[in-house]
């Protein structure tokens, strides 16, 4: 018997076994894959909000994101068969000279949870590599993370290179501990997210899938 509320709750609680079990039950019950996916992303919305408000911390968010990842792995073949495509494609990376990737990985997990296909370029990513990857994956969104005051300057180079490469309407979101909304605006980025939870909302707004502007 499919129980979507239990699926949402299992992901919120970071209960990987429960998340996979309820996903399998929902698939076997013949529920629409999009309906199942919506129940999963609802959990990530809750988790993102709690993280933003400081009600949970990195470990809890990681545990939920892992449950989400295992559950979506079960759903992926069904989604593919049903022809359901991710809402957007994103390339994500930590800026050139910077090896910090924990925050960037959290952003990637949250974006995947929000039905955004993520091509993770890893760390130490040059502006040229970002441009190349946007072209390669026909991406709508670029996420750049920086944790060092010495490397965040490279974010401006990414914005300039992407705009100069004539890649269409690509939205660029930046974040990381030393980055601010003012800095994001100064370099011409389309959005700034202070944490992985708000990165979903900011990305959706930039893509025109949500209300308001970032």
Binding site for ligand B1M (CB under 6 A): 58, 97-104, 106-107, 143-145, 147-150, 173-178, 193, 195-196, 199
Q: Which residue, 75 or 196, has its beta carbon nearer to ligand B1M?
A: 196
- Output phi, psi for 95, to 5 deg: -60, 155
In the bound complex, what is the minimum distance in angstroms from residue 120's beta carbon to ligand B1M? 11
Torsion of the alpha carbons at 98, 176, 67 and 32, rounded to the nearest 10: -110
Task: Pick between residue 6 and residue 61 the one whose CB is nearest to ligand B1M.
Answer: 61
User: Nearer to ligand B1M by C-beta: 103 or 154?
Assistant: 103
At closest approach, how far in Å is the CB of 104 from ligand B1M?
A: 5
**Distance linking the first and last C-alpha atoms of the chain:** 41
| C-alpha to C-alpha distance for 99 and 96, rounded to whole angstroms | 8
Closest contact distance (angstroms) between CB of 94 and ligand B1M is 8
Nearest to 145 by CA among 93, 204, 68, 80: 93
Name the helix (H) or strand (E) containing 145: strand 141-145
Residues whose CB is less than 8 angstroms from the CB of residue 85 and which lie 6 or more positions away in sequence, other chains included: none
- CA 148/CA 62 separation, integer angstroms: 23
- 18 vs 197 by CB, closer to ligand B1M: 197
Sign of CA dihedral 186, 191, 196, 198: positive
Closest approach, Cβ 170 to ligand B1M, in A, equals: 13
| Nearest distance, CB of residue 187 and ligand B1M, angstroms | 13
- Nearer Cβ to ligand B1M, position 23 or 214? 214
């Amino acid at each position: 018997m499919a129980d979507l509320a239990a699926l949402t709750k299992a992901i919120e609680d970071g209960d990987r076994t429960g998340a996979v079990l309820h996903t399998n039950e929902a698939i076997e019950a013949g529920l629409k894959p999009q309906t199942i996916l919506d129940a999963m992303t609802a959990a990530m919305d809750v988790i993102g909000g709690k993280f933003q408000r400081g009600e949970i911390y990195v470990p809890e968010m990681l545990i939920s994101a892992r449950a989400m990842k295992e559950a979506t792995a079960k759903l992926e073949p069904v989604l593919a068969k049903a022809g359901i495509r991710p809402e957007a494609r994103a390339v994500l990376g930590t800026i050139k000279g910077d090896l910090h990737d924990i925050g960037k990985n959290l952003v990637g997990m949250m974006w995947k949870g929000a039905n955004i296909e993520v091509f993770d370029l890893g760390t130490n990513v040059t502006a040229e590599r970002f441009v190349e990857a946007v072209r390669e994956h026909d991406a709508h969104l670029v996420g750049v993370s920086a944790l060092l005051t010495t490397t965040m300057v490279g974010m401006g180079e990414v914005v300039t290179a992407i705009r100069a490469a004539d890649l269409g309407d690509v939205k660029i979101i930046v974040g990381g501990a030393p980055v601010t909304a003012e800095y994001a605006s100064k370099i011409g980025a389309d959005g700034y997210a202070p944490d992985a939870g708000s990165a979903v909302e900011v990305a959706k707004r930039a893509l025109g899938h949500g209300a308001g502007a970032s």
